[in-house]
Amino acid sequence: MTVPDALATAVDWPTLAADLEATLASALALAPIPLAPGHARAMGTWKGAPTTIETRAWRGERIAYCRVARVRGHGVAIGNVLCIPDPALRAGGRPLPILGVDLVAIGERDAIVVADLSPMTEDRALGSERIAAALDADPDVARLTPIDDLPPWARDSFSTRALAVRVGAELHPVAAAAVRRVVDAFVTLVHEARVDANADDTGAVRRAHQRHLGRHRDEDGGLALLGRMFGSEWARGYVCTVLFPDLPEHS
């Protein structure tokens, strides 16, 4: 039997998230952070079928917090990556952006693929420059359909060149390759950066990190899906302590 082209090219998004995790852990010399067993892995249901979520968290000398979550179930495949650099890191005198990746496929709808280097100051140039270089390296990225109805928190948080697209299976490989390039750009930026222990805006960057995490917790409507799958009480604790936690003062 011949496999339809769309099925042959479709990307498994949780597997891609695991691959990105391996890249980040290796390239940035990350060490695992123990999670409570109920948060490291949980079972739920979606459309009456079993669903699982698996999460690992990391930190490193240059990374304050990194975590990767993967959800699998009947008709649902999700990967989510967050990587927050040390607030004292500077590249060209500017604080580093936060890496965020969201890969969501539910049912027969087009997958939603988001990857960005979200700026932590009003100056969005650093993240936008690196995103632009990563995405412009492949002219096929222009074939991806941008999401034109981003919620306010996303419009406020994203760089000006964020990858935020809806993709059918035939364009999954293009979107996946673009996401990998964004992650590679973040890794390169972290390696290039230097710690500025005397930077007078480190406290402001730390507060910007907390605002970024708080807006996700409070305004990201997509997180309601976790409550539907795994229960509202579990989801509240997971979102606040693992997915988008308040970071310690000296993380």
Spatial distance between the Cα atoms of 208 and 160, rounded to a whole number of angstroms:
18
Listed in sequence order, the DSSP H helices in 115-201 are 125-136, 152-157, 172-192
In the chain, the amino acid numbered 154 is A
Q: Which domains does the chain have, with CATH numbers?
A: 5-242 (3.40.1500.20)
Name the residue among 174, 131, 181 with its Cα closest to residue 11.
174
**Number of residues written out for the chain:** 251
The label of the residue with tokens 């699998």 reads 72
Instruction: Identify the bridge partners of residue 65 per DSSP, sorted by sequence position.
Output: 84
Tokens linked to 217: 């917790």
Q: What is the CA radius of gyration of the chain?
A: 18
Per-residue pLDDT of the chain in tens (251 residues, 90 and over written 9): 344 454 456 899 999 999 999 999 999 999 999 999 899 999 999 999 999 999 999 999 999 999 999 999 999 999 999 999 999 999 988 899 999 999 999 998 899 999 999 998 877 777 788 889 999 989 999 999 999 888 888 888 898 899 999 999 999 999 999 999 999 999 999 999 998 777 778 889 999 999 999 999 999 999 999 999 999 999 999 999 999 999 876 54
End-to-end CA distance of the chain: 54
